[in-house]
Amino acid sequence: MPILGIDYEKCDDCQICYNACTRYFRRDKELNKMVFEDPNNLFDSCGRCIARCK
């Protein structure tokens, strides 16, 4: 299942997704929130981030 983005209505900035995957998640200091980026369309849907996000 592809990730469409982060639901900021539910995200509490716990950064668990980043700890699960530093390839596609990062904390944007200017936006002050987690962001998901896949500019080269390499995301492989391994599911680690989804499994850990509460």
Residue 3 or residue 40: which is nearer to ligand SF4 going by CB?
Answer: 3
The answer to whether 50 touches 3, Cβ cutoff 8 Å, is yes
- Exactly one of 5, 9, 11, 29 binds ligand SF4 (CB under 6 A); that residue is 11
- Exactly one of 14, 35, 46, 47 binds ligand SF4 (CB under 6 A); that residue is 14
Which residues contact residue 1 at a Cβ distance below 8 angstroms, ignoring those fewer than 6 apart? 45, 47, 50
Q: Does 12 engage in binding with ligand SF4 (CB under 6 A)?
A: yes
Q: H/E element holding 52?
A: helix 48-52
- Footprint on this chain of ligand SF4 (rule: CB under 6 A): 6, 11-17, 34, 53
